[in-house]
Amino acid sequence: MPAVAAARLFHVKPRPSRGLWTVVTLLAILTWFTAAGALAQAADSVPLARDLAADAKLARDKNLVLLVMFGTPDCPYCRQVLNEFLLPMSRNADYQAKVIMRQVEIGGGQRLVDFSGRATTHRQFSFRHRAKLAPTVMLFDADGRVLAEPLVGMITPDYYGAFLDRAIDEAREKLHAKPAP
């Protein structure tokens, strides 16, 4: 009697083949590694802006500049600015003593609290600051005022770091030149 006929006769459910269990196990392991990689990548990134009022308070308390990179998820130049410049800077103690870094998605609908504590979205905040091209890097004081000329686009990777350093230095000079409230 064939196995299927025997299974019907005795109401026995056929067991999945060993190959199916192997595939399911491999998919589970692959999913776990992918999720772990995504979490590690998220931890090693410039955070998305969520509450600029809280970031501004921290910047004011520590006398730091707020660096905001306006970008889009599919922008290769944004990834280049992040990977080659902002991420290495965010790991460097010298820059940690100068700036707080955040990202804003130009067309994003993510909720955001702006510098004045009002609810908005990434899209509206980008529009308000005329950030239309990706990437755009702007440097703000704790009151949300722009302290240096924005860096728009990725003109030359060889000089971008120098342009970014100059903008940060200019912003810090303006920040320190302001009379204390």
Q: CA torsion 146→165→43→51, rounded to 10°?
A: -10
Give the residue-averaged pLDDT of 103-108. Answer: 95
The pLDDT, as a whole number, for residue 14 is 54
The pLDDT, as a whole number, for residue 1 is 54
pTM of the shown model: 0.74
Q: How confident is the model at residue 45 (pLDDT cuts 50, 70, 90)?
A: confident
Q: What is the pLDDT of residues 126-138, one digit of tens each?
A: 999 999 999 999 9
Instruction: Using alpha carbons, select from 104, 97, 91, 93 the residue that is nearest to residue 150.
Output: 104
The pLDDT, as a whole number, for residue 9 is 53
8 token code pair: 């019907």
β-sheet bridge partners, residue 132: none
Could you tell me where the DSSP H helices lie in 44-91?
Answer: 52-62, 76-81, 87-90
Query: Comparing 14-18, 82-86, 176-180, which segment has the lowest mean pLDDT?
Result: 14-18
The pLDDT, as a whole number, for residue 155 is 76
CA distance 105 to 44: 18
Say whether pLDDT at 39 is over 70.
no
DSSP code at position 133 = S
- Distances in Å between the alpha carbon of 43 and those of 15, 37, 98, 113? 42, 10, 21, 22
Q: How confident is the model at residue 179 (pLDDT cuts 50, 70, 90)?
A: low
Place of tokens 């990706």: 134
Q: How confident is the model at residue 157 (pLDDT cuts 50, 70, 90)?
A: confident
Q: How confident is the model at residue 174 (pLDDT cuts 50, 70, 90)?
A: very high
